[in-house]
Amino acid sequence: MRGETAGLEGACRLIWVRHAPPDGEGLFLGQSDVPLSTRGRRQLPRLVEKISRYQVQAIYSSDLRRALATAAAISRKLGMKVQRRPGLREIHFGAWEGLTWKQITERFPEAACGWMENFPRQPIPQGEEFRRFKARVRRELRRMVTANSGGCAIVVTHAGVIRAALASALGMPDRNLFRIASDFGAMSVIDYFSGSAVVRCMNG
């Protein structure tokens, strides 16, 4: 799809990429800094080939290892440096980090039930407040859009960050965030114009 960005005329295209599968797949990893799994490393060549069809001018990544390893594989193919952005980290799950949902419901039954029923108003014990998470994602988004006006950039990050970006672009309420799929190694494409956004692809 080279040359697609030529007609953006001041807009910015961001290709949001969820990292490949990590060690601890199925756990609430949040900001736990785990590497890619064997399955994740094996998935990288296919992911890189899919992404390399785009003509980009920058690659951004969360500074967590699973995202950086994914971004590094893309950067080697494109010959570009990865720009680390701590603001693109997943939300911090606090006391739930490293646990399965079954473990969470057993150890924190009231908090788990409240979180499901009242998301995003119900905080996770010792976790990052959703409003703060959303604010830092928006700050990073504004910076990337401003820096890439008229061009295209790759953003390697986490499911929560991608869902927040898509929900914002689509005007969805936060409570519906988990209706958006974000699979490992999948990409979503959003074009950002002045005051608006157009979703071109979701979870592709």
User: Tell me: the pLDDT tens digits for 129-161?
Assistant: 999 999 999 999 999 999 999 999 999 999 999
User: Position 107: which residue type?
Assistant: R
Domains of the chain, CATH where assigned: 7-93+128-201 (3.40.50.1240)
Provide the 10 A C-beta neighbour count for residue 86: 11
Q: Given the structure tokens 């029923």, which residue do they identify? A: 117
Using the 8-state DSSP alphabet, how is residue 204 labeled? -
User: Position 97: which residue type?
Assistant: E
The encoded tokens of residue 9 equal 């005329």
pLDDT band at 7 (very low <50, low <70, confident <90, very high): low
Q: What integer is the mean pLDDT of 28-48?
A: 98
The encoded tokens of residue 166 equal 């898509």
Question: Distance between CA atoms of 25 and 17, rounded to whole angstroms?
Answer: 17
Containing 198, the helix (H) or strand (E) segment is strand 196-201
pLDDT given at position 2: 41
> What percentage of the chain reaches a pLDDT higher than 70?
96
- Contact assessment for residue 130 and residue 174, using Cβ atoms and an 8 Å cutoff: yes
- Contact assessment for residue 156 and residue 17, using Cβ atoms and an 8 Å cutoff: yes
- Whole-structure pTM value: 0.94
> What percentage of the chain reaches a pLDDT higher than 90?
93
Question: Which residue stretches of the chain are H helix?
Answer: 38-51, 65-78, 101-107, 109-118, 130-147, 159-170
pLDDT given at position 195: 87
- Contact assessment for residue 20 and residue 40, using Cβ atoms and an 8 Å cutoff: yes
Cis amide linkage into residue 35, ω under 30° from 0: no
pLDDT at position 4 over 50: no
